[in-house]
Amino acid sequence: MTTPFDITKETYTRFEFARDGKILTASIVSDHPVNGVDAAMHEEFGRVFSELQRDSESDIIILTAKGRAFCAGGDFDWFDEQIANPAKFRDIAWEAKRIVSSILEMEKPIICRLNGAAGGLGATIALLCDIIIADEKALIGDPHVKVGLVAGDGGALIWPQLIGYAKAKELLMTGDMLKASEAKELGLINYAVPTEELDAKVAELVGKLQGNPRWAVRWTKTVVNIPLRALAAQMMDAAIGWESVSNIHDDRKEAVAAFREKRKPNLTGE
């Protein structure tokens, strides 16, 4: 059963919602300067897509963010908590899997309006969307390895499917960030446009989708996502498991400390 989604829902502190006819825009918001993922945001990512799928008043979802970034990955205070108490990492495993599966299970088209930097989980969420339109000034990448983690929360799943295994492994193992224009050239995203043209390009794609029969669009997306959903079912338990293991290593702690202190990490291989 579908019902209208209450866009003023008080249970969300990391999202703001707005309607324009059958278009529902979900905007990431936080006090963090680059919308870093904390426990509250992670929990909300784990349920928002399922709720938006059940919304009876929308046909298309636009995912974007307020501020100068889209979502630059994990918040470092949260990282410190996970390092000090690995149980905190273990406890979000189901939630992490649900983020990926709920995006892939959504029938409604999701357009990512990538207004700024997307890193780590932020990049994964952007890339799991159906059409990604980026500000040409935006950067995108998955630097999990730079903070001592396995790229287990969906990066290892989606990057190879979009750009092939060779380039995906290079980028995931180096943690390098890409300019939006580079990402577009690789086929990682659909469009990279000047800032002042971002909204117009999103509106153009919305119009094209709305110009086609709703159920044909939804179920075409659903069919295309079947192999991705199957791959997620095969990979995510192991991916999250290995990421959890990497969280307890000495080099993880040192990588986070070095990043905070803006210095080269003193890695030991442990």
Residue 1: predicted pLDDT = 60
Cβ-contact 148, 251 below 8 angstroms = yes
Cβ-contact 17, 7 below 8 angstroms = yes
Residue 3: predicted pLDDT = 85
Residue 7: predicted pLDDT = 85
The token pair that represents 119 in the structure block: 């890193």
Residue 8: predicted pLDDT = 85
How many CB atoms lie under 10 A from the CB of residue 133? 27
Of residues 40, 43, 7, the one with CA closest to residue 26: 7
Query: In whole angstroms, what is the distance from residue 12 CA to residue 5 CA?
Result: 12
Of residues 26, 55, 199, 209, the one with CA closest to residue 125: 26
Helices (H), the chain: 39-53, 76-84, 87-90, 93-105, 121-128, 155-163, 165-174, 180-186, 198-210, 214-224, 226-246, 250-261
pLDDT tens digits along 184-237: 999 999 999 999 999 999 999 999 999 999 999 999 999 999 999 999 999 999
**What are the strands of the beta sheet with 177-179, ordered from one edge?**
69-71, 117-119, 139-141, 177-179
Q: pTM here? A: 0.96
Where residue 108 falls (left for φ over 0; alpha for ψ -120 to 50; beta otherwise) is: beta
* Annotation: CATH topology of 15-261: 2-enoyl-CoA Hydratase; Chain A, domain 1 (3.90.226)
DSSP 56: T
Q: Which residues of the chain have pLDDT under 50?
A: none
> Residue 253 burial by CB count (10 A; 0-12/13-18/19+): exposed, middle or buried?
middle
Q: Hey, which residues does 111 pair with through a beta bridge?
A: 62, 131
